[in-house]
Amino acid sequence: MLKLFISPGACAMASHAALEEAGAEYETEVVNLRAGEQKRPEFLAVNPAGSTPAMLTDEGPLTQNTAILGYIAQRFPERGLAPVDDAYRFARFTAFNAFLASSVHPMIGKVLFGGLEGEARQQALDPALTKYELLERSLVEGPWVFGDSYTHSDGYLAVFERWARQAGLLDPARFPKLNAHLDAVQQRPAYRRMLEQEGLEPV
């Protein structure tokens, strides 16, 4: 059975939602980041980087949302949650997820969790919101990331939409498409189950 290490409300929500969407048999273990549980030897044996998500499979551990989402998509191809039978479209799926991981996450994470204040925070916020504008204008086709079909990329994007909305940064006038997207994701039964398991509510 798959075992996913999560931190409620953190980016591991993407992998958690993906498992629910896939109808996978899995279990979760909460890693309390604030309490430093990611530094425990038991967890570092799974992910030496000391971060979530991490997932145990029959073949061994996997880390990073981008890899885990690709694995779940290929493990459960019948669910149609990524274009695993089309090399080009699957590459686009992977590229979008990599953009979230390598560009959006570190930028908005710095703003929200980096302890910045005043001018320093504003200097970090402006380029972060520029990434959201790129998503709004060019990268999200609508109503889902890749048009008419929901994929694991949608659950991943919703993480950063949630964070921005909770911080009062997802201005509906500036980001109408992203707001509509988040609302649609949060209405999905699988996503609701993930939120309930993590003790969270839609935002």
Q: Can you give the pLDDT at residue 42?
A: 95
In contact, 144 and 151? CB cutoff 8 Å: yes
**C-alpha–C-alpha distance, residues 124 and 119, integer Å:** 9
What pTM was computed for the model? 0.97
Report the top-level CATH class of 2-80+190-197. Answer: alpha beta
Q: pLDDT by residue (tens digit) across 22-40?
A: 999 999 999 999 999 999 9
List, in sequence order, every beta strand (DSSP E) within 1-97: 2-6, 26-30, 54-56, 61-63
Q: Can you give the pLDDT at residue 89?
A: 98
Residues in the chain where the model's pLDDT stays below 70: none
Q: Can you give the pLDDT at residue 5?
A: 98
Q: Can you give the pLDDT at residue 191?
A: 98
Q: Can you give the pLDDT at residue 144?
A: 98
Q: For 87-188, CATH number?
A: 1.20.1050.10
Q: Do the domains at 2-80+190-197 and 87-188 have one common CATH topology?
A: no
**C-alpha–C-alpha distance, residues 156 and 136, integer Å:** 15
In degrees, rounded to 5, the angle at the alpha carbon of residue 145 between the alpha carbons of residues 2 and 52 is 35
Q: Can you give the pLDDT at residue 171?
A: 98
Q: Can you give the pLDDT at residue 182?
A: 98
| Both structure tokens of 55 | 């997932």
Q: Can you give the pLDDT at residue 109?
A: 98
Q: Can you give the pLDDT at residue 141?
A: 97
Domain residue spans of the chain: 2-80+190-197, 87-188
**C-alpha–C-alpha distance, residues 135 and 130, integer Å:** 9
